Amino acid sequence: MVWQNRRADAGDFPSRTFRRGLVLEKRTLYSGGPRGEPQGFQPPPLQADGTPGYTLARYIPDVENGNTRGFYVLVSDVTELKSTQIALEQRIQELDILAATDALTGIANRRKFLERTRDELARCKRYGTSLTFLMMDVDHFKAVNDTYGHDAGDQLLKILAMTMKDTLRATDTVGRLGGEEFGALLIEDSPMDVEVVARRLHEALRSACVLTERGQEICFTVSIGLADFAVGVNSAEDLMRRADTALYHAKRTGRNRICWYGECSTEPNRSDS
């Protein structure tokens, strides 16, 4: 569609006013028209069924000998193109969420969790704040799967993740590191506060029993390893490695307990995990 107006102040432009600027629905769309500046706009009119429609309009000044005699406006219906663009952007957002989320539990996956760990570690180094890496493992999880089936095991992991989110603060980050191993970042807490939080989480999970489809109740315990940002920690992997060492020390010395990295006197025997 092409509209032509040979006078900048003419009134025959359909449902629009062109004075110092072109106005559509009480919104100024062009302000440089009288100066002969090429411009474009993309107003969102409604279609007949009430859904949003999109048009792309191009303003082309008619200039002769340096004088603007009028203008042309070319309007194209780009609703289908715009709808495709919006759907594509939404799909990209969905894929970004899927790429960062554990499919079973709905919390951060390992990649996203470690990415957040690197960000928080950089902030600690810059501002001198505290950071504690909590790593947790379900005790005897293999026995749960073998006895009650993998569906029951999956339900247990979902309950565990939900309990972590409900127990920890919104500012703390929780994630699934793989299998029955989970992690949490406790931000700006003193060692005493971390100990309180870890024990509260430990007790909450002792009470978070799972009911199977056959009416069987599965109660479980977890072992927790803690490591804070300190001298010798240069990367997120260093911090996670210390928490991992503390976790396996907790499992090797009886399970169902909490262990700080500083309590680990020797490397754990991983065959006892």
Query: Tokens standing for 251?
Result: 């499992």
Query: Token pair of 257, please?
Result: 């307990």
In whole angstroms, what is the distance from residue 210 CA to residue 220 CA?
A: 9
SS3 235: coil
Active site residue 180: yes
Burial 206-222 (b: 16+ CB within 10 A, else e): eebebeeeeeeebebeb
Alpha-carbon distances, residue 127 vs 118, 122, 132, 173 (angstroms): 14, 9, 15, 19
User: Of 180, 188, 195, 213, which is the active-site residue?
Assistant: 180
Which element (helix H / strand E) includes 173?
A: strand 173-178
**End-to-end distance of the chain based on CA atoms, in angstroms?**
73
Q: Which residues are designated catalytic?
A: 180
